[in-house]
Amino acid sequence: MTIGVLGGTGPAGTAVAARLASVGYRVIIGSRSADRAEEKAREIREAWPGLPLDLRGGSNHDAAACEVIVLATPWDSAATTAKEHENDLAGKVVVSMANALVRVGNEFQPLVPPRGSVAAHVQVAVPRCRVVAALHHLPAKELGHLGDPIDSDVLICSDDKSALVTVSEIVEKIPGCRPLDAGELSNATAIEAFTAVLLQLNVRYKTRVAPRLNGIKGDPRK
């Protein structure tokens, strides 16, 4: 499987791309500047010379042509970017990982995007694709530390069951991560907003937290 990361040259995008490449996927970092994307891909490869990372940079069009796409743009441009590549994304799984947040003083506050969540807004913008909300709560810095597992549950929701299964299988390959089926896309509102709480805990306790839910036994996908 080839995974494209749209708008993937920022901290979250490069961390996601690096981690997915480290678990065996072919990954294309997309950007409006293909040269900038290739520079980021080269930096990652050089930072981890002992890992056979199948990772390269390209344009956003190159990333959108992949089998699965991760939207790693800022939240307020996620739907617009997806719309620009609507034909390429038709029928594909598109992972929305953005959180609509604003910092006011020392507090992080969630915003309410159109349709209630970034993920739902993307789904309306590109109705022929299969949007999955996931990866919101994984700390970017830890995600990019390829030698270390990430002790976190990953809440995943979608209106397309097969797309949810596909993303769950991808998440399950990330060491330490457990995918959890969080229901339909309407639940993305709460998932995205909860990121503000986690960031506030990071500030308060000078750490980087990730959620781990107790009480779910056996295979969480059943």
Angle, helices 11-22 vs 34-47, to 10°: value is: 50
Which residue in the block uniquely carries the two structure tokens 């940079």? Answer: 57
3-state DSSP helix/strand/coil % of the chain, to nearest 5: 40, 20, 35
- 99-103, 151-155, 178-182, 217-221: lowest mean pLDDT where? 217-221
Min mean pLDDT across 12-16, 112-116, 151-155 is at: 112-116
Sorted by sequence, the CB contacts under 8 Å of residue 183 that are 6+ apart come out as 157
- What per-residue confidence (pLDDT) applies to 222? 61
Q: Is the pLDDT of residue 219 over 70?
A: no
Q: Which structural domain, as residue segments, surrounds residue 130? A: 2-205
Which pLDDT score, from 0 to 100, does residue 221 have?
A: 59
**Whole-number pLDDT of residue 79:** 97
Residue 105: its pLDDT value, please?
A: 86
Report CA-CA distances (Å) from 10 to 88, 130, 182, 196.
22, 24, 27, 19
8 Å CB contact between 59 and 30: yes
Tell me whether residue 217 is in a domain. Answer: no
**Phi first, then psi: what are they for 45, rounded to 5°?**
-60, -40
Helix boundaries (H) for the chain? 11-22, 34-47, 60-64, 78-84, 86-89, 118-125, 140-143, 161-172, 188-205
Tell me whether residue 185 is in a domain: yes
Number of domains in the chain: 1
pTM of the model: 0.95
Q: Which DSSP state fits 92?
A: S
222 falls within a domain: no
User: How many other C-beta atoms can be found within 10 angstroms of the C-beta atom of residue 204?
Assistant: 10
Q: What is the mean pLDDT of residues 74-100?
A: 97
Confidence at residue 220, expressed as pLDDT on a 0 to 100 scale: 64
Condensed to tens digits (0 to 9), the pLDDT of residues 28-52 reads 999 999 999 999 999 999 999 999 9
Query: What pLDDT, in 10s, does the model give residues 166-187?
Result: 999 999 999 999 999 999 999 9
Cα separation, 118 vs 100, in Å, equals 7
Name the burial class of residue 171, with classes exposed (0-12), middle (13-18) and buried (19+) by CB atoms within 10 angstroms of its CB: buried
Q: What is the mean pLDDT of residues 112-136?
A: 96
Q: In this structure, is residue 22 part of a structural domain?
A: yes
Would residue 128 count as lying in a domain? yes
Quote the pLDDT of residue 194: 96
126: domain CATH number is 3.40.50.720
User: Residue 48 domain-assigned?
Assistant: yes
* Confidence label for 147 from pLDDT (cuts 50, 70 and 90): confident
Look over the chain and give the mean of its residue pLDDT values, rounded to a whole number. 95
**pLDDT-wise least confident of 48-52, 104-108, 122-126:** 104-108
Instruction: Tell me, yes or no, whether 156 lies in a domain.
Output: yes
Q: What percent of the chain has pLDDT over 90?
A: 91
Q: In the prediction, which pLDDT does 114 show?
A: 86
Render pLDDT for 6-19 as a digit per residue (tens, 0 to 9): 999 999 999 999 99
Look at residue 144 and tell me if it is in a domain: yes
